[in-house]
Amino acid sequence: MNFYAKIMRMLFSCIIKFLRITALVICRIKKNNARKLIMKINLVIFLLISTFMQISIAAIAQKINLTEKDIPMPQLLEKISKQTGYDFFYTNEMFSGNSRVAVSFKDANLEEVLNYLFKEQNLKYIIKYKTIVVQRKTVVPVREPATILKKLKIKGLITDSKGKEIPGAVIAEKGTQNRTASQVNGTFSIEVNDNATLIISYVGYDTQEIKLKNNQENLTVVLAESLNQLGEIGVISTGYQKIKKDQLTGAASVMTEKEYQQREAVTGNFLESLEGKIPGLVYNSQTDELSIRGVASFDAVKQPLIVVDGFPTEIDLRTINPNDIISVSVLRDAAAASIYGVRASNGVIVVETRRGKSGKSVFTLRSTYAIQDKPDFSYLNYAPANEFVQLQKESFNIAKPSYILFQLGYSKLNPAQQILFSGTRLDLSNPLLTADQIDQKLLALGSYDNLKEYQRLFFQKRQTKNINFDVSGGNDKSTYILGLNYIDEIPIRIRSENKQYNLSMANTFKFSTRFNLDFKTTYTNYKNVSGNTPNYSDFYPYEHLTDDQGNALPVSLDPNRNYYSRPLSRANNNALMALGLYDMLYYPYRELASNTNTSQGSSIRFLGRLNTKLTDWLNMDLGGNYENQNVRADRLQLEDSYAVRALVNTMAVKDPVTGNAMFSNMPKGNILKRSNTSMINYTMRGQLNFAHKFGENNHDFSGILGIEQKITQLKAYTTSYFGYEPQTLINKPINMGILNATTIPAFTSVGYSSNFINTDYFNQLEGERRFRSFYGEGTYIFKNKYIATGSFRIDQSNLFGADPKYKNKPLWSTGLNWRIGEEDFIKQIPWIDNMQVRTATGFNGNVPNSYNGAFLILYSGLNTSLNVPLTYYDVLTPQNQSIRWETTRNYNLGLDYTLLKNRISGSVDWYMKKTRDVFGQFDADPTSGFNQYNANTASIQNKGLEFLVNSVNIKLNNFKWTTQVTASFNSNKVLAIKATEYANSQLITSGITPVLGLPIGALFSYNYGGLNEAGQPYVIDKKGNHKVLAFSGSNRADVTKDDLIYNGTTTPKYVLGLNNQITLGAFDVSFLFMYYGGHVMRVEQPNPNNIGALFNNPLAGSNNFWRKPGDENNTMIPGFLLSSSSMPGYFQSSALYGYQYATQFVRRADYIRLRDIVVTYNAKIPAFEKIGLKNTQLRFQAQNAFRYTFSGNDIDPDAINRNSGTRSLTVQPFYSLTFSTNF
């Protein structure tokens, strides 16, 4: 006891020092939050003190209470084992005679009981760790000393083929009960006869027999991985219980720690390692799309439920440290996931994190450095500057002078227009230019292209450092693990940085055979900083952004890109500045430093679980989870930023005497907008677990029964400070009553005056969700062949009013499993090793994404039209007491198999999901005063097939090649929908409206009929008529839904993952190919009309547009769209839809991507081993190194809006280097 106490005091002291040092480090990094952090660290220390005080109690020896009158010795030993947790090893022959005994023990310790039992027997016992080995007493005749066997003490080391130590391997002396287990560092010691044969075994590895040679005392045993590991029975964690995979009736998959750690999650996103490894799960790190078995909702939660260590999490997923994960279970159907009730319609991802292991302290270090090149802007295919200037010239020449004057009423001329305007007699301020002079100036203007300058000024290489360090250890009474993860990222945008710290602590305590305690605390702190990077479309491609000295230059547009912000000419701007107003020109490069966005967040997650053994077949779990997340987002806009200058100028008033600007209402200076969001989530759970066998073990019944309470509270508010000084924290007051008035005598030349009621500067939100649930699950196994399961859950929530019909939601599932591989007629087939058939059905559900549910949403504002402003309230959404939960009916049929002596294994699953009462917006009765309201509007069906195939292709001593293939095929369809008739075809082609009988994300296009003689796009209806679209006006011409062409879905229907892993000596190589297919995308086309301030930049090739009658025979690109019906060649802007959304521009979106290639070197370096470094690895990883597309134009389907066709930047290859070791 004294020795144990000393060890625990030393361990406790180390932990306290570790936490103190961590606190000091973080204090220096972030002084403002030091006090809060120290308080949290002290709280953790307090918990440590409380729990470690309990350890001394757990050190008390086990007490045995047992009374039996006439019981066979084997049964008695089994009961002692259940009370103490010690396992017995013996042979049945030892008790073949009359071995029935009568005993009565009360508060006896284990040693007293064993001495009493064996004192009259010809037996003895040896206690090795938690194992009691029973042996026959050996009588050695004195007269024959030569018959005494010589004993040898064997010491050794157990490793795998890469030199990694294997703890827990069993070393047994053949023909005896003498055995031991390897320690956490792989070493062992055992005393055997000198002619003994040792048997070494470990799960997942081939068993070895070693005949000892003369006087051999040291062994190094290298175990080879067994082919049987592919057919090995895994354990699925549902969060409520752990179930053997061969007992499942539903569809579920699990990734072990080894499989999960095969890929490095460089950015800290644990979902990256799941892609391509789990059938039915689709995650694309480039688009951040995550789904399981398709999408089944419009407005409700669409992503799967994430569960960490048994409890659903509501906080940011970045708090999950990928290095801390030991398994990921994915529950795909109702039988597997319905235990989560109304949160399980989209599937469930259950993450299990590490706990300490018994043994001496082990320190683990893992460090990663990654780099990614700048984005490639050439992929956007923008028209170069010279082509852009040519388009502006032709647009100017087509327009009449009156159009130019019309334009001048709204905005200043762009540089090309200024040159061209100087060639007209309308420009009275400049000398008249000749045509040659204009061409020379335009040629010089278009000779400079600022795309490279834009990339140089605003973008950089992305760099990421990820360091993980932890220490773990313990004994048979308690274990611990302390971890620290640090991520330092320099994103691709200049003046940006991201830092994150993740501290975690987990402890397990075994107070006795009846009481076990497990708890874990995770604290995360992060800070993200970014500047204001302008969009490339915020300026013309020929404009310089800086001068030769690097000073910012103004451009023609402003970031609002609309005429009503009234961008000024430089002459008008100078005149206004003379009156005291700010400069109203837009300097993109200055904006980078004039705007700072800072997001700081912290979260703490604490979970605890106490397990109490009530009887041999019944135990109870009492547990809970507490989460608290706080995020503060600051946007500091300096006085010289465009947003501050524009706002202050707009709110300025004129001096009635001098006419100069006065800033009495809106002060000059910086503006700080601060948003605070806090979320508190806690779950409490009580659960009974039972497992009982009877009828000579032919009947096996197990299950759970529990109650759960969950509350999530959200509070968010935004406030702003004007005239703010960051150093002194001083700000200046504003008069909201005056600013909200409509009579401000503003300088209208800088923008229209408007009320200052703006939720962008001031806002507040509060919401609360409450759930109470009753649940149960049971599994019955007959003769280890036939399995039946059933589950139920009743969910209650505050989101659906007081009507029990909607407030209570009962859900259930049932399933069957036939282990057909255990039948004799299957065992006779030599190439089938194992096989089972599963079928299941059941219900689960979903909840609204918003917090309103059945209730009203009120908006508060200030009515400033009265002399005394009064607060008013708007009802934004009407009450809907008939709103119901979304409900999904699941059907699943599955087959699991292992073939050819475990060389091939896998599964096949067919499923169908029907979701009804889908949440969405429904058109309201106009007499109600509302346009739309939240309602149950639709039904959706998903069905498909999923395949998993594992194979061992080659297995030699130093070479191994394995392959894993996952395949998911999903078909999605809207079965029913409540919706009014579409107003026009534009709503359908925009993709925002679901269509009956077609999948979510259905893509429609016009049947393009080319151009008419006026350069206008034709659309062909189903009768063959050619129309020029006009959605409004006297010449309205539209087509119906039946005239449109359905091209397919923009959501991938087929997802395949091909993962190969090759081991060659000390090297491991793996590469993952991903295929996404069965979907389509629209590709944006050149359009000369995209040169105005309201549009994106035109694409290359836009100058090949229609110019004169007859050109329609040579081009598909329409002519210029003019802005006045009095202009020749005018047509409505809606006519362009017939060209932009033409079916001819829809392409296949199928592609293959080499998602990652990983090369790992398992280093066995003597110099490292001398200083205690073990299991050292060096890993190189390349992500997104290769892409092949089936569209024929190398357009990345993940870097495009598949409905509109607008491109975005592609993800560049990401290279990383990782070093890991432990000591």
What band does 406 get if pLDDT is binned at 50, 70 and 90? low
Contact (Cβ atoms closer than 8 angstroms) between residue 331 and residue 248: no
Supply φ then ψ for residue 132, to 5 degrees.
-115, 115
Distances in Å between the Cα of 1221 and the Cα atoms of 156, 160, 1163 are 22, 16, 10
Q: How, if at all, do strands 305-308 and 348-353 pair?
A: parallel
Which residue did the predictor score with more confidence, 134 or 1018? 1018
Q: How does DSSP classify residue 225?
A: B
| Amino acid symbol at 183 | Q
- Mention every residue, 6+ apart, whose C-beta is less than 8 A from residue 234: 244, 245, 254, 256
Burial of 599 (0-12, 13-18, 19+ CB in 10 A): middle
Contact status, residue 1219 vs residue 367, Cβ threshold 8 Å = yes
CA nearest 848: which of 775, 798, 812?
798
pLDDT bucket at 37, cuts 50 / 70 / 90: very low
Contact call for residues 522 and 319 (beta carbons, < 8 A): yes
What local confidence, expressed as pLDDT, does residue 1144 receive?
92
Model confidence band, residue 231 (pLDDT cutoffs 50, 70, 90): very low
Angle at alpha carbon of residue 542, lines to 538 and 546, rounded to 5° = 75
Q: Do residues 637 and 670 lie in contact, with contact meaning Cβ atoms separated by under 8 Å?
A: yes
Angle at 454 between CA 449 and CA 455, to 5 degrees: 115
- Which pLDDT band, with edges at 50, 70 and 90, does 11 fall under? very low
Between the alpha carbon of residue 609 and those of residues 398, 612, 809, 1126, the distances in Å are 76, 10, 27, 77
Cα(700)–Cα(785) distance, integer angstroms:
11
Tell me the three state secondary structure of residue 955: strand
Q: What residue has token string 């009275």?
A: 428
In this predicted structure, the answer to whether residue 1075 has a pLDDT above a threshold of 80 is yes
User: Has residue 1145 got a pLDDT over 90?
Assistant: yes
Q: What is the 3-state secondary structure (H, E, C) of 524-579?
A: EEEEEEECCCCCHHHCCCCCCCECCCCCECCECCCCCCCHHHCCCCHHHHHHHHHC
Residue 786 half-sphere exposure toward CB, CA atoms < 13 A: 4
Q: Check residue 1172 and give its pLDDT.
A: 82
Question: 889 or 125: whose pLDDT is higher?
Answer: 889
Which H helix or E strand runs over 27?
helix 2-29
CA dist 187 and 165 (Å) reads 8
Non-local (6+) Cβ contacts of 1113 within 8 A are: none
Give the chain's radius of gyration (CA, Å). Answer: 36
> Taking the domain 147-225, which CATH number applies?
2.60.40.1120
Which of 85-94, 356-365, 794-803, 969-978 shows the lowest per-residue confidence on average (mean pLDDT)? 85-94
What are the E-state strand segments in 226-383?
A: 235-237, 242-244, 252-256, 281-284, 289-292, 305-308, 311-312, 325-331, 348-353, 359-372
Confidence of residue 29 (pLDDT cuts 50, 70, 90): very low
Structure token pair of residue 78: 């089994």
Residue 564, pLDDT above cutoff 50: no
Give the C-alpha separation, 298 to 938, whole Å.
9
Q: Which pLDDT band holds residue 480 (cuts at 50, 70, 90)?
A: very high
Give the model's confidence band at 18: pLDDT under 50 very low, under 70 low, under 90 confident, else very high: very low
User: Which has the closest alpha carbon to 1070: 1059, 1056, 1080?
Assistant: 1059
The answer to whether 502 touches 523, Cβ cutoff 8 Å, is: yes
* pLDDT score of 854: 52
Place of tokens 């005080």: 53
Mean pLDDT of the chain: 82
3-state secondary structure of 632: strand
pLDDT at 913 over 70: yes
pLDDT of residue 1128: 45
List, as own/partner pairs, every contact residues 454-457 make where C-beta atoms lie below 8 angstroms and the sequence separation is at least 24, other chains included.
454/377, 454/536, 454/545, 455/374, 455/375, 455/377, 457/494, 457/545, 457/546, 457/589, 457/592
State the average pLDDT over residues 572-579: 86
CA dist 386 and 389 (Å) reads 5
Alpha helices in 1142-1207 (DSSP H): 1166-1170
3-state secondary structure 1112-1126: HHCCCCCCCCCCCCC
The set of residues, in sequence order, having a beta carbon less than 8 Å from that of 882 and lying 6+ positions away, is 806, 854
Lowest mean pLDDT among 337-351, 518-532, 858-872, 1010-1024: 858-872
The H or E element containing residue 650 is: helix 642-650
- How far apart are the C-alpha atoms of 761 and 675, rounded to whole Å? 9
Rounded Cα–Cα distance for residues 203 and 229 (Å): 8
CA distance 1187 to 1195: 10
Residue of 898, 881, 725, 877 lying closest to 805 (CA atoms): 881
Two structure tokens written together for 861: 């504002």
Q: Are 791 and 800 in contact (CB under 8 A)?
A: no
Contact between 477 and 509 (Cβ < 8 Å) = yes
**Three-state secondary structure of 769-804:** EEEEEEEEEEEEEECCCEEEEEEEEEEEEHHHCCCH
Interior CA angle at 622 toward 619 and 623, to 5°? 140
CATH fold for the domain made of 253-357 = Ferric Hydroxamate Uptake Protein; Chain A, domain 1 (2.170.130)
DSSP letter, residue 882: T
Residue 870 is predicted with a pLDDT of 59
Does the structure show a pLDDT above 90 at 641? yes
Would you say 1192 and 1146 are in contact if contact means Cβ atoms under 8 Å apart? Answer: no
Per-residue pLDDT at 1174? 85
Q: Residue ranges per domain, the chain?
A: 2-58, 61-138, 147-225, 253-357, 973-1050+1080-1145, 1054-1078+1149-1223
Q: Are 504 and 521 in contact (CB under 8 A)?
A: yes
Neighbour order of strands in the sheet with 197-201: 179-181, 170-173, 197-201, 208-211
Model confidence at 879, in pLDDT bands (50, 70, 90)? low
Residue 593 backbone dihedrals phi, psi, to 5 degrees: -95, -15
pLDDT > 90 in the chain, percent: 39
- Range name among 162-166, 444-448, 703-707 with the lowest pLDDT average: 162-166
> Using CA atoms, how far apart are residues 1048 and 1078, in angstroms rounded to an integer?
8
pLDDT exceeds cutoff 50 at 154: yes
Rounded-to-10 torsion of CA 261, 267, 271, 274: -40
Q: Amino acid letter at 1020?
A: I
Quickly name the fold that domain 61-138 has.
Phage tail protein beta-alpha-beta fold (3.55.50)
- In the chain the first and final C-alpha atoms are separated, in Å, by 28
What count of residues does the chain have?
Answer: 1223
Confidence class for position 308, pLDDT limits 50, 70, 90: very high
Of 325, 358, 319, 306, the residue nearest 258 (C-alpha)? 325
Structure tokens at 613: 């053994």
- Please report the DSSP string for 746-774 in residue order: --GGG--------TTTSEEEEEEEEEEEE
Q: DSSP string spanning 1010-1049?
A: EE-TTSPEEEE-TT--EE--BSSSTT-B---GGGSEEEEE
The predicted pLDDT at position 722 comes to: 93
Top mean pLDDT of 59-73, 287-301, 867-881 is at 287-301
pTM of the model: 0.80
Indicate the residue type of 1077: G
SS3 380: helix
